[in-house]
Structure 1
Amino acid sequence: MKKIVILFFLVSILCFSQNYSSIVVNYESIVEPIKIDPKNVEHNDLFENINESFTNKIFVLKANNMGFIFKENLKMDADDSNKRMAKIANLAYSISDYFYEKKRNILFSVTNNLNVISNTNYNWELSSETKEIDAYTCYKATYNYKFVTRKGKEVNRLVTAWYTPQINFNYGPNGYMGLPGLILELEYDKTKLVAKGIEFFKEEIKIDFPKNKEVTEEEFLKKIGIN
Protein backbone atom coordinates (compact mmCIF):
# COMPACT_ATOMS: atom_id res chain seq x y z
CA MET A 1 0.00 0.00 0.00
CA LYS A 2 2.86 2.36 0.88
CA LYS A 3 4.49 1.76 -2.51
CA ILE A 4 1.20 2.57 -4.25
CA VAL A 5 0.87 5.87 -2.38
CA ILE A 6 4.46 6.85 -3.24
CA LEU A 7 3.93 5.90 -6.89
CA PHE A 8 0.72 7.95 -7.04
CA PHE A 9 2.60 10.92 -5.52
CA LEU A 10 5.41 10.69 -8.11
CA VAL A 11 2.96 10.32 -11.01
CA SER A 12 1.04 13.36 -9.77
CA ILE A 13 4.24 15.42 -9.71
CA LEU A 14 5.16 14.26 -13.24
CA CYS A 15 1.73 15.08 -14.65
CA PHE A 16 1.74 18.49 -12.98
CA SER A 17 5.26 19.26 -14.24
CA GLN A 18 4.13 18.75 -17.83
CA ASN A 19 1.62 21.57 -17.53
CA TYR A 20 4.13 24.42 -17.25
CA SER A 21 7.50 25.47 -18.63
CA SER A 22 8.10 28.67 -16.64
CA ILE A 23 7.42 30.05 -13.18
CA VAL A 24 7.53 33.39 -11.36
CA VAL A 25 7.92 33.30 -7.59
CA ASN A 26 7.57 36.24 -5.20
CA TYR A 27 9.60 36.04 -1.99
CA GLU A 28 8.86 38.14 1.06
CA SER A 29 11.90 39.25 3.06
CA ILE A 30 11.80 38.82 6.84
CA VAL A 31 14.83 40.28 8.59
CA GLU A 32 15.88 41.13 12.12
CA PRO A 33 16.14 44.94 12.19
CA ILE A 34 19.55 46.42 12.84
CA LYS A 35 19.66 47.69 16.41
CA ILE A 36 20.04 51.44 16.78
CA ASP A 37 22.72 52.50 19.27
CA PRO A 38 21.93 55.96 20.70
CA LYS A 39 25.66 56.49 21.26
CA ASN A 40 26.52 55.77 17.62
CA VAL A 41 24.99 58.92 16.15
CA GLU A 42 27.20 58.77 13.05
CA HIS A 43 25.52 55.66 11.62
CA ASN A 44 22.03 55.84 13.13
CA ASP A 45 20.46 57.52 10.09
CA LEU A 46 21.94 54.86 7.80
CA PHE A 47 20.69 52.01 9.99
CA GLU A 48 17.21 53.55 10.21
CA ASN A 49 17.11 53.88 6.41
CA ILE A 50 18.21 50.25 5.99
CA ASN A 51 15.49 49.05 8.38
CA GLU A 52 12.90 51.19 6.60
CA SER A 53 14.07 49.93 3.20
CA PHE A 54 13.28 46.34 4.21
CA THR A 55 9.66 47.15 5.02
CA ASN A 56 7.54 45.16 2.53
CA LYS A 57 10.55 44.21 0.36
CA ILE A 58 9.70 41.65 -2.32
CA PHE A 59 12.19 39.64 -4.40
CA VAL A 60 11.30 37.79 -7.59
CA LEU A 61 12.60 34.56 -9.09
CA LYS A 62 11.83 33.99 -12.77
CA ALA A 63 12.70 30.57 -14.18
CA ASN A 64 12.31 28.75 -17.48
CA ASN A 65 14.12 25.99 -19.36
CA MET A 66 17.05 28.36 -20.03
CA GLY A 67 17.76 29.13 -16.37
CA PHE A 68 16.62 31.71 -13.83
CA ILE A 69 17.07 35.27 -12.61
CA PHE A 70 16.59 36.48 -9.03
CA LYS A 71 16.36 40.16 -8.14
CA GLU A 72 14.48 42.68 -6.04
CA ASN A 73 11.11 43.82 -7.32
CA LEU A 74 11.74 47.56 -7.08
CA LYS A 75 8.79 49.91 -7.01
CA MET A 76 8.08 51.63 -10.32
CA ASP A 77 8.38 55.09 -8.74
CA ALA A 78 11.71 54.40 -7.02
CA ASP A 79 14.19 57.21 -7.66
CA ASP A 80 17.99 56.88 -7.82
CA SER A 81 18.34 57.62 -4.11
CA ASN A 82 15.91 54.85 -3.16
CA LYS A 83 17.61 52.44 -5.56
CA ARG A 84 21.00 53.15 -3.97
CA MET A 85 19.57 52.61 -0.49
CA ALA A 86 17.94 49.35 -1.66
CA LYS A 87 21.36 48.08 -2.78
CA ILE A 88 22.99 49.11 0.52
CA ALA A 89 20.20 47.41 2.50
CA ASN A 90 20.48 44.22 0.46
CA LEU A 91 24.24 44.20 0.99
CA ALA A 92 23.71 44.54 4.75
CA TYR A 93 21.61 41.36 4.70
CA SER A 94 23.75 39.49 2.14
CA ILE A 95 21.18 39.52 -0.68
CA SER A 96 22.30 39.99 -4.29
CA ASP A 97 20.95 39.76 -7.80
CA TYR A 98 21.66 36.33 -9.31
CA PHE A 99 21.10 34.57 -12.59
CA TYR A 100 21.84 31.10 -13.89
CA GLU A 101 22.51 30.09 -17.49
CA LYS A 102 21.56 26.44 -17.78
CA LYS A 103 23.25 25.93 -21.16
CA ARG A 104 26.64 26.89 -19.76
CA ASN A 105 25.83 25.69 -16.23
CA ILE A 106 27.11 28.96 -14.77
CA LEU A 107 25.69 30.93 -11.84
CA PHE A 108 26.42 34.66 -11.61
CA SER A 109 25.95 37.28 -8.93
CA VAL A 110 25.56 40.81 -10.27
CA THR A 111 27.72 43.29 -8.36
CA ASN A 112 29.14 46.67 -9.38
CA ASN A 113 27.97 46.10 -12.98
CA LEU A 114 29.95 42.85 -13.14
CA ASN A 115 28.75 39.28 -13.62
CA VAL A 116 30.69 37.44 -10.93
CA ILE A 117 30.91 33.68 -11.49
CA SER A 118 29.61 31.97 -8.36
CA ASN A 119 29.89 28.51 -6.87
CA THR A 120 27.05 26.07 -7.60
CA ASN A 121 28.46 23.08 -5.71
CA TYR A 122 26.31 23.35 -2.62
CA ASN A 123 26.93 20.38 -0.34
CA TRP A 124 23.37 20.13 0.91
CA GLU A 125 22.52 17.80 3.76
CA LEU A 126 19.01 16.47 3.19
CA SER A 127 16.60 15.78 6.03
CA SER A 128 13.33 13.87 6.27
CA GLU A 129 11.82 16.74 8.28
CA THR A 130 8.84 18.35 6.51
CA LYS A 131 6.44 21.26 6.80
CA GLU A 132 3.74 22.87 4.68
CA ILE A 133 4.45 26.15 2.87
CA ASP A 134 1.70 27.65 0.72
CA ALA A 135 -0.03 24.22 0.50
CA TYR A 136 3.17 22.49 -0.69
CA THR A 137 4.97 19.75 1.22
CA CYS A 138 8.52 20.96 1.80
CA TYR A 139 11.62 19.12 2.98
CA LYS A 140 14.45 20.57 5.04
CA ALA A 141 18.03 20.85 3.78
CA THR A 142 21.05 22.57 5.33
CA TYR A 143 24.37 23.82 4.00
CA ASN A 144 27.42 25.17 5.81
CA TYR A 145 28.62 28.05 3.64
CA LYS A 146 32.19 29.27 4.13
CA PHE A 147 33.17 32.64 2.71
CA VAL A 148 35.51 35.62 3.14
CA THR A 149 34.13 39.04 4.11
CA ARG A 150 35.22 42.30 2.53
CA LYS A 151 37.57 42.72 5.49
CA GLY A 152 39.22 39.38 4.72
CA LYS A 153 37.65 37.49 7.63
CA GLU A 154 36.66 33.85 7.10
CA VAL A 155 33.06 33.15 8.16
CA ASN A 156 30.87 30.05 8.39
CA ARG A 157 27.17 30.52 7.68
CA LEU A 158 24.51 27.86 8.24
CA VAL A 159 21.92 28.04 5.47
CA THR A 160 18.56 26.31 5.94
CA ALA A 161 16.32 25.67 2.93
CA TRP A 162 12.83 24.21 2.62
CA TYR A 163 12.19 22.82 -0.86
CA THR A 164 9.27 21.09 -2.52
CA PRO A 165 9.66 18.22 -5.03
CA GLN A 166 6.16 19.13 -6.26
CA ILE A 167 7.69 21.90 -8.40
CA ASN A 168 10.35 20.56 -10.73
CA PHE A 169 12.73 23.55 -10.85
CA ASN A 170 15.77 22.96 -8.63
CA TYR A 171 16.31 26.69 -8.07
CA GLY A 172 15.79 29.09 -5.19
CA PRO A 173 16.30 32.65 -3.93
CA ASN A 174 19.64 34.43 -3.59
CA GLY A 175 21.50 32.03 -5.88
CA TYR A 176 20.88 28.89 -3.84
CA MET A 177 20.01 25.87 -5.97
CA GLY A 178 20.72 22.18 -6.57
CA LEU A 179 17.99 20.63 -4.42
CA PRO A 180 15.42 18.16 -5.83
CA GLY A 181 12.73 20.83 -6.09
CA LEU A 182 12.01 24.54 -5.75
CA ILE A 183 13.17 26.29 -2.55
CA LEU A 184 10.17 28.00 -0.97
CA GLU A 185 11.93 29.21 2.17
CA LEU A 186 15.56 30.15 2.80
CA GLU A 187 17.08 31.28 6.08
CA TYR A 188 20.58 32.37 7.13
CA ASP A 189 21.95 34.72 9.77
CA LYS A 190 19.21 37.33 10.34
CA THR A 191 17.58 36.91 6.94
CA LYS A 192 14.63 34.81 5.80
CA LEU A 193 13.08 34.71 2.31
CA VAL A 194 9.66 33.06 2.07
CA ALA A 195 7.63 32.36 -1.09
CA LYS A 196 4.34 34.28 -1.03
CA GLY A 197 3.05 33.63 -4.52
CA ILE A 198 3.85 31.29 -7.41
CA GLU A 199 2.66 31.73 -10.99
CA PHE A 200 2.92 28.94 -13.56
CA PHE A 201 3.14 29.52 -17.32
CA LYS A 202 2.69 27.01 -20.11
CA GLU A 203 4.72 29.21 -22.46
CA GLU A 204 8.42 30.04 -22.09
CA ILE A 205 8.55 33.45 -20.42
CA LYS A 206 11.38 35.73 -21.51
CA ILE A 207 14.32 36.28 -19.17
CA ASP A 208 16.79 39.06 -19.92
CA PHE A 209 20.16 37.98 -18.56
CA PRO A 210 22.50 40.92 -17.68
CA LYS A 211 25.20 41.43 -20.31
CA ASN A 212 28.00 42.67 -18.07
CA LYS A 213 31.68 41.78 -18.06
CA GLU A 214 32.24 38.30 -16.58
CA VAL A 215 34.84 37.86 -13.84
CA THR A 216 35.71 35.08 -11.40
CA GLU A 217 35.22 35.51 -7.65
CA GLU A 218 39.02 35.74 -7.25
CA GLU A 219 39.22 38.53 -9.84
CA PHE A 220 36.35 40.37 -8.16
CA LEU A 221 37.88 40.11 -4.68
CA LYS A 222 41.18 41.40 -6.04
CA LYS A 223 39.37 44.27 -7.74
CA ILE A 224 37.78 45.40 -4.46
CA GLY A 225 41.04 44.97 -2.58
CA ILE A 226 40.50 41.78 -0.57
CA ASN A 227 43.06 39.59 -2.39
Structure 2
Amino acid sequence: MKKLPLKIALLLTLFFTSFTAFAQDFQGKAYYQSKTTMNMDDFGGPDMSPERKKQIQERMKSFLEKEYILTFNQAESVYKEEEKLEAPGGGRGFGRFGSSLSGGPKYKNVKTKEVITDQEFFGKQFLIVDELKNLEWKMGTETKQIGQYTCFKATAITTSDAFDFSSFRRPSDRGNDKEGSKKEKDSLKSQSKEKDNKPETKEPKTIEVVAWYSPQIPVNQGPDGYWGLPGLILEVNADRTTILCTKIVLNPAEKEEIEKPTKGDEVTQAEYTEIVTKKMEEMREMYDGRGRGGRGGGRGRN
Protein backbone atom coordinates (compact mmCIF):
# COMPACT_ATOMS: atom_id res chain seq x y z
CA MET A 1 0.00 0.00 0.00
CA LYS A 2 1.37 3.41 -0.94
CA LYS A 3 2.06 6.26 1.49
CA LEU A 4 -1.12 7.83 2.83
CA PRO A 5 -1.96 11.47 2.06
CA LEU A 6 -1.57 13.70 5.15
CA LYS A 7 -5.31 14.36 5.45
CA ILE A 8 -6.10 10.66 5.71
CA ALA A 9 -3.18 9.96 8.07
CA LEU A 10 -4.40 12.58 10.56
CA LEU A 11 -7.94 11.20 10.49
CA LEU A 12 -6.67 7.65 10.99
CA THR A 13 -4.65 8.70 14.05
CA LEU A 14 -7.78 10.19 15.60
CA PHE A 15 -10.04 7.24 14.85
CA PHE A 16 -7.60 4.55 15.92
CA THR A 17 -6.92 6.35 19.23
CA SER A 18 -10.63 6.44 20.12
CA PHE A 19 -11.09 2.87 18.88
CA THR A 20 -8.43 1.19 21.03
CA ALA A 21 -10.50 1.12 24.22
CA PHE A 22 -13.03 -1.42 22.96
CA ALA A 23 -11.11 -3.01 20.10
CA GLN A 24 -10.38 -6.24 21.96
CA ASP A 25 -13.96 -7.54 21.80
CA PHE A 26 -15.07 -5.46 18.84
CA GLN A 27 -17.43 -6.99 16.29
CA GLY A 28 -19.62 -5.54 13.59
CA LYS A 29 -22.07 -6.39 10.84
CA ALA A 30 -22.31 -4.65 7.49
CA TYR A 31 -25.20 -5.26 5.09
CA TYR A 32 -24.52 -4.99 1.35
CA GLN A 33 -26.47 -5.01 -1.89
CA SER A 34 -24.65 -6.49 -4.89
CA LYS A 35 -25.76 -5.88 -8.47
CA THR A 36 -24.16 -7.24 -11.66
CA THR A 37 -25.20 -6.20 -15.16
CA MET A 38 -25.05 -8.32 -18.31
CA ASN A 39 -25.24 -7.26 -21.94
CA MET A 40 -28.29 -9.04 -23.32
CA ASP A 41 -28.26 -7.35 -26.75
CA ASP A 42 -26.77 -10.33 -28.58
CA PHE A 43 -27.96 -13.00 -26.16
CA GLY A 44 -29.89 -15.75 -27.93
CA GLY A 45 -28.94 -14.70 -31.44
CA PRO A 46 -31.29 -13.24 -34.07
CA ASP A 47 -33.93 -15.93 -33.56
CA MET A 48 -34.72 -14.97 -29.95
CA SER A 49 -37.60 -12.54 -29.52
CA PRO A 50 -37.35 -9.46 -27.26
CA GLU A 51 -40.10 -10.97 -25.09
CA ARG A 52 -38.05 -14.13 -24.55
CA LYS A 53 -34.94 -12.10 -23.70
CA LYS A 54 -36.97 -10.16 -21.14
CA GLN A 55 -38.18 -13.41 -19.56
CA ILE A 56 -34.59 -14.66 -19.26
CA GLN A 57 -33.49 -11.35 -17.71
CA GLU A 58 -36.22 -11.64 -15.07
CA ARG A 59 -35.15 -15.21 -14.23
CA MET A 60 -31.53 -14.10 -13.94
CA LYS A 61 -32.37 -11.16 -11.69
CA SER A 62 -32.17 -13.25 -8.51
CA PHE A 63 -28.74 -14.46 -9.64
CA LEU A 64 -27.41 -11.00 -10.55
CA GLU A 65 -28.91 -8.99 -7.67
CA LYS A 66 -28.19 -10.23 -4.15
CA GLU A 67 -27.95 -9.09 -0.55
CA TYR A 68 -25.08 -10.05 1.75
CA ILE A 69 -24.02 -9.70 5.37
CA LEU A 70 -20.38 -9.20 6.40
CA THR A 71 -19.74 -10.22 10.00
CA PHE A 72 -16.30 -8.97 11.05
CA ASN A 73 -13.84 -8.28 13.81
CA GLN A 74 -10.31 -6.91 13.54
CA ALA A 75 -8.82 -10.12 12.13
CA GLU A 76 -11.61 -12.26 10.68
CA SER A 77 -14.76 -11.89 8.64
CA VAL A 78 -17.45 -14.00 6.98
CA TYR A 79 -19.28 -12.67 3.93
CA LYS A 80 -22.42 -14.61 3.08
CA GLU A 81 -25.65 -14.17 1.19
CA GLU A 82 -28.63 -13.16 3.28
CA GLU A 83 -31.06 -16.06 3.52
CA LYS A 84 -34.44 -15.63 1.85
CA LEU A 85 -37.45 -17.84 1.30
CA GLU A 86 -37.30 -19.32 -2.19
CA ALA A 87 -40.23 -18.54 -4.49
CA PRO A 88 -42.39 -21.50 -5.64
CA GLY A 89 -40.65 -23.23 -8.53
CA GLY A 90 -37.39 -21.44 -7.77
CA GLY A 91 -35.49 -24.71 -7.44
CA ARG A 92 -36.16 -25.64 -11.07
CA GLY A 93 -34.54 -24.40 -14.27
CA PHE A 94 -32.32 -21.38 -13.91
CA GLY A 95 -32.98 -21.16 -10.16
CA ARG A 96 -31.06 -24.39 -9.53
CA PHE A 97 -28.44 -23.47 -12.14
CA GLY A 98 -27.89 -20.01 -10.67
CA SER A 99 -27.66 -21.27 -7.10
CA SER A 100 -24.84 -23.59 -8.12
CA LEU A 101 -22.87 -20.67 -9.58
CA SER A 102 -23.53 -18.28 -6.70
CA GLY A 103 -20.67 -17.78 -4.30
CA GLY A 104 -21.00 -19.46 -0.91
CA PRO A 105 -19.94 -18.01 2.46
CA LYS A 106 -16.43 -16.51 2.23
CA TYR A 107 -14.14 -16.52 5.28
CA LYS A 108 -11.18 -14.12 5.41
CA ASN A 109 -8.40 -13.79 7.98
CA VAL A 110 -6.30 -10.69 7.35
CA LYS A 111 -3.64 -11.75 9.86
CA THR A 112 -2.96 -15.22 8.46
CA LYS A 113 -3.73 -14.04 4.87
CA GLU A 114 -6.21 -16.88 4.42
CA VAL A 115 -9.42 -16.94 2.39
CA ILE A 116 -11.79 -19.93 2.33
CA THR A 117 -15.06 -20.16 0.40
CA ASP A 118 -17.63 -22.76 1.45
CA GLN A 119 -19.10 -23.62 -1.95
CA GLU A 120 -21.72 -26.09 -3.15
CA PHE A 121 -21.78 -26.98 -6.84
CA PHE A 122 -24.47 -29.30 -8.21
CA GLY A 123 -24.86 -31.13 -4.91
CA LYS A 124 -21.14 -31.45 -4.11
CA GLN A 125 -19.44 -29.50 -1.33
CA PHE A 126 -16.10 -27.75 -1.91
CA LEU A 127 -13.70 -25.72 0.22
CA ILE A 128 -11.97 -23.19 -2.03
CA VAL A 129 -8.78 -22.40 -0.11
CA ASP A 130 -6.31 -19.75 -1.24
CA GLU A 131 -3.93 -17.13 0.05
CA LEU A 132 -5.62 -13.77 0.51
CA LYS A 133 -4.66 -11.69 -2.51
CA ASN A 134 -2.88 -8.41 -1.80
CA LEU A 135 -4.24 -5.48 -3.79
CA GLU A 136 -1.89 -2.60 -4.58
CA TRP A 137 -4.24 0.16 -3.55
CA LYS A 138 -3.65 3.68 -4.83
CA MET A 139 -4.93 6.04 -2.14
CA GLY A 140 -6.78 9.21 -3.07
CA THR A 141 -8.08 12.26 -1.21
CA GLU A 142 -11.51 12.32 -2.88
CA THR A 143 -14.32 11.76 -0.37
CA LYS A 144 -18.05 11.08 -0.35
CA GLN A 145 -20.69 10.37 2.24
CA ILE A 146 -22.24 6.90 2.50
CA GLY A 147 -24.92 7.08 5.15
CA GLN A 148 -23.34 8.70 8.22
CA TYR A 149 -19.80 7.68 7.24
CA THR A 150 -17.20 9.75 5.44
CA CYS A 151 -15.50 7.57 2.84
CA PHE A 152 -12.24 7.94 0.93
CA LYS A 153 -11.58 6.66 -2.58
CA ALA A 154 -8.95 4.03 -3.42
CA THR A 155 -8.28 2.24 -6.71
CA ALA A 156 -6.45 -0.93 -7.70
CA ILE A 157 -5.88 -3.17 -10.72
CA THR A 158 -6.49 -6.88 -10.25
CA THR A 159 -7.23 -10.02 -12.25
CA SER A 160 -10.07 -12.48 -11.91
CA ASP A 161 -9.71 -16.23 -12.42
CA ALA A 162 -13.26 -16.95 -11.29
CA PHE A 163 -15.81 -18.53 -13.61
CA ASP A 164 -17.08 -16.14 -16.31
CA PHE A 165 -20.69 -17.00 -17.12
CA SER A 166 -20.73 -14.79 -20.25
CA SER A 167 -18.11 -16.97 -21.93
CA PHE A 168 -20.45 -19.95 -21.91
CA ARG A 169 -23.26 -18.77 -24.07
CA ARG A 170 -24.07 -21.11 -26.89
CA PRO A 171 -21.96 -20.51 -30.00
CA SER A 172 -25.08 -19.46 -31.94
CA ASP A 173 -25.73 -16.77 -29.34
CA ARG A 174 -22.51 -15.01 -30.25
CA GLY A 175 -23.17 -14.64 -33.97
CA ASN A 176 -24.97 -11.75 -35.67
CA ASP A 177 -26.53 -13.83 -38.46
CA LYS A 178 -27.42 -17.45 -39.12
CA GLU A 179 -24.67 -18.04 -41.65
CA GLY A 180 -22.05 -16.48 -39.38
CA SER A 181 -23.33 -18.54 -36.45
CA LYS A 182 -23.08 -21.76 -38.48
CA LYS A 183 -19.50 -20.99 -39.52
CA GLU A 184 -18.55 -20.11 -35.97
CA LYS A 185 -20.11 -23.31 -34.63
CA ASP A 186 -18.30 -25.43 -37.25
CA SER A 187 -15.04 -23.67 -36.38
CA LEU A 188 -15.57 -24.31 -32.67
CA LYS A 189 -16.28 -27.98 -33.32
CA SER A 190 -13.06 -28.27 -35.30
CA GLN A 191 -11.06 -26.52 -32.58
CA SER A 192 -12.65 -28.75 -29.95
CA LYS A 193 -11.49 -31.89 -31.75
CA GLU A 194 -7.97 -30.52 -32.05
CA LYS A 195 -7.91 -29.85 -28.32
CA ASP A 196 -9.14 -33.37 -27.46
CA ASN A 197 -12.51 -31.96 -26.43
CA LYS A 198 -11.01 -29.74 -23.73
CA PRO A 199 -13.32 -26.85 -22.78
CA GLU A 200 -12.54 -23.32 -23.85
CA THR A 201 -10.84 -21.20 -21.24
CA LYS A 202 -10.01 -17.51 -21.11
CA GLU A 203 -6.99 -15.70 -19.82
CA PRO A 204 -7.62 -14.01 -16.45
CA LYS A 205 -9.49 -10.75 -16.95
CA THR A 206 -7.84 -7.50 -15.83
CA ILE A 207 -10.22 -5.40 -13.73
CA GLU A 208 -10.05 -1.89 -12.29
CA VAL A 209 -11.45 -1.76 -8.77
CA VAL A 210 -12.78 1.45 -7.24
CA ALA A 211 -13.36 1.21 -3.49
CA TRP A 212 -14.74 3.63 -0.91
CA TYR A 213 -13.66 3.01 2.69
CA SER A 214 -14.33 4.73 5.99
CA PRO A 215 -11.61 5.27 8.63
CA GLN A 216 -14.44 5.74 11.12
CA ILE A 217 -14.55 1.92 11.25
CA PRO A 218 -10.80 1.16 11.41
CA VAL A 219 -10.68 -2.48 10.31
CA ASN A 220 -9.12 -3.52 7.00
CA GLN A 221 -12.08 -5.68 6.03
CA GLY A 222 -14.52 -5.45 3.15
CA PRO A 223 -17.12 -7.34 1.12
CA ASP A 224 -16.33 -10.43 -0.94
CA GLY A 225 -12.54 -10.76 -1.42
CA TYR A 226 -11.78 -7.05 -0.93
CA TRP A 227 -9.72 -5.87 2.03
CA GLY A 228 -6.47 -4.09 2.91
CA LEU A 229 -7.60 -0.47 3.37
CA PRO A 230 -7.37 1.54 6.62
CA GLY A 231 -11.10 1.38 7.20
CA LEU A 232 -14.10 -0.78 6.37
CA ILE A 233 -14.87 -0.82 2.62
CA LEU A 234 -18.45 0.38 2.13
CA GLU A 235 -18.64 0.41 -1.66
CA VAL A 236 -16.89 -1.45 -4.49
CA ASN A 237 -17.19 -0.95 -8.24
CA ALA A 238 -15.42 -3.67 -10.24
CA ASP A 239 -16.10 -4.56 -13.87
CA ARG A 240 -19.90 -5.00 -14.12
CA THR A 241 -20.49 -5.42 -10.39
CA THR A 242 -21.36 -2.81 -7.75
CA ILE A 243 -21.43 -3.68 -4.04
CA LEU A 244 -22.93 -1.05 -1.74
CA CYS A 245 -23.26 -1.05 2.05
CA THR A 246 -26.78 -0.16 3.21
CA LYS A 247 -26.55 -0.70 6.97
CA ILE A 248 -23.90 -1.10 9.67
CA VAL A 249 -24.32 -2.47 13.20
CA LEU A 250 -21.32 -2.08 15.52
CA ASN A 251 -20.96 -4.25 18.64
CA PRO A 252 -24.37 -5.97 18.36
CA ALA A 253 -25.99 -7.17 21.58
CA GLU A 254 -25.76 -10.77 20.42
CA LYS A 255 -22.33 -11.48 19.01
CA GLU A 256 -21.91 -14.14 16.36
CA GLU A 257 -18.96 -16.53 16.37
CA ILE A 258 -16.88 -16.22 13.21
CA GLU A 259 -16.03 -19.79 12.26
CA LYS A 260 -13.61 -21.07 9.67
CA PRO A 261 -15.38 -23.54 7.31
CA THR A 262 -13.95 -27.07 7.38
CA LYS A 263 -16.27 -29.37 5.40
CA GLY A 264 -15.86 -30.16 1.72
CA ASP A 265 -13.29 -31.21 -0.87
CA GLU A 266 -10.37 -28.77 -0.64
CA VAL A 267 -9.41 -27.08 -3.92
CA THR A 268 -7.80 -23.82 -5.03
CA GLN A 269 -9.77 -21.15 -6.89
CA ALA A 270 -8.06 -22.12 -10.15
CA GLU A 271 -8.94 -25.80 -9.64
CA TYR A 272 -12.55 -24.97 -8.78
CA THR A 273 -12.90 -22.74 -11.86
CA GLU A 274 -11.67 -25.62 -14.00
CA ILE A 275 -14.28 -27.95 -12.45
CA VAL A 276 -17.08 -25.46 -13.14
CA THR A 277 -15.81 -24.80 -16.66
CA LYS A 278 -15.87 -28.49 -17.56
CA LYS A 279 -19.36 -28.93 -16.13
CA MET A 280 -20.71 -25.95 -18.04
CA GLU A 281 -19.13 -27.24 -21.25
CA GLU A 282 -20.86 -30.60 -20.75
CA MET A 283 -24.19 -28.87 -20.22
CA ARG A 284 -23.74 -26.68 -23.28
CA GLU A 285 -22.94 -29.68 -25.48
CA MET A 286 -25.95 -31.54 -24.09
CA TYR A 287 -28.18 -28.52 -24.72
CA ASP A 288 -26.90 -28.10 -28.28
CA GLY A 289 -27.53 -31.80 -28.93
CA ARG A 290 -31.11 -31.53 -27.75
CA GLY A 291 -31.59 -28.39 -29.84
CA ARG A 292 -30.38 -30.10 -33.00
CA GLY A 293 -32.63 -33.10 -32.32
CA GLY A 294 -35.62 -30.85 -31.70
CA ARG A 295 -35.10 -29.01 -34.99
CA GLY A 296 -35.11 -32.16 -37.01
CA GLY A 297 -32.19 -34.58 -36.94
CA GLY A 298 -32.74 -35.51 -40.58
CA ARG A 299 -31.90 -32.09 -41.92
CA GLY A 300 -28.67 -32.02 -43.88
CA ARG A 301 -28.91 -35.65 -45.05
CA ASN A 302 -28.44 -36.40 -48.74
TM-score range, shorter chain: 0.7 to 0.9
Once the two structures are superposed, residues 147-176 of structure 1 have per-residue CA deviations (whole angstroms, 9 ceiling, x without a partner) of 345542121111111011111221111111
Partner of 1:201: 251
Structure 1 residue matching 2:246: 3-state secondary structure: strand
Q: Which amino acid aligns with 2:28?
A: I
Are the structure 2 counterparts of residues 33 and 117 from structure 1 closer, same or farther at C-alpha, using a change threshold of 3 Å?
Answer: same
Normalized against structure 1, the TM-score is what? 0.77
Are the structure 2 counterparts of residues 67 and 153 from structure 1 closer, same or farther at C-alpha, using a change threshold of 3 Å?
Answer: same
Q: CA deviation at 1:88?
A: 1.8
- Distance, in Å, in 2 between the alignment partners of 1:115 and 1:187 is 26
Aligned CA-pair RMSD: 3.5
Whether the aligned pair in 1 keeps the contact of 2:15 and 2:218 (CA below 8 Å) is no
Are the structure 2 counterparts of residues 215 and 188 from structure 1 closer, same or farther at C-alpha, using a change threshold of 3 Å?
Answer: same
Match of 1:115 among 127, 131, 140: 127
Q: Which amino acid aligns with 2:126?
A: L
Q: Which amino acid aligns with 1:209?
A: K
Structure 1 or 2: more strand by fraction: 1
Number of residue pairs matched?
A: 220
Are the structure 2 counterparts of residues 17 and 46 from structure 1 closer, same or farther at C-alpha, using a change threshold of 3 Å?
Answer: farther
- Distance, in Å, in 1 between the alignment partners of 2:270 and 2:90 is 30
- Distance, in Å, in 2 between the alignment partners of 1:31 and 1:17 is 37
Q: Which runs of 5+ in 2 are unaligned?
A: 1-5, 165-199, 279-302
Are the structure 2 counterparts of residues 16 and 210 from structure 1 closer, same or farther at C-alpha, using a change threshold of 3 Å?
Answer: same
Structure 1 residue 51 and structure 2 residue 61: aligned? yes
Normalized against structure 2, the TM-score is what? 0.60
Structure 1 residue 26 and structure 2 residue 57: aligned? no
Q: CA deviation at 1:48?
A: 2.1
Q: Which amino acid aligns with 1:22?
A: Q
Match of 1:214 among 257, 261, 266: 266
Q: Which amino acid aligns with 1:72?
A: E
Match of 2:82 among 69, 73, 78: 73
Whether the aligned pair in 2 keeps the contact of 1:159 and 1:188 (CA below 8 Å) is yes
Q: CA deviation at 1:34?
A: 5.2
Give the stretch that moved more between structures: 66-75 or 212-221: 212-221
Structure 1 segment 1-227 matched on structure 2, within 5 A: 10-16=13-19, 18-19=21-22, 21-32=26-37, 35=40, 39-40=47-48, 45-52=55-62, 54=64, 57-65=66-74, 67-75=76-84, 77-78=85-86, 82=90, 85=95, 88=98, 91=101, 97-102=105-110, 104-111=112-119, 112=121, 113-118=125-130, 119-148=132-161, 149=163, 151-154=200-203, 155-201=205-251, 205-211=256-262, 212-224=264-276
Give the stretch that moved more between structures: 164-173 or 107-116: 107-116
Structure 2 residue matching 1:153: 3-state secondary structure: coil
Whether the aligned pair in 1 keeps the contact of 2:116 and 2:261 (CA below 8 Å) is no
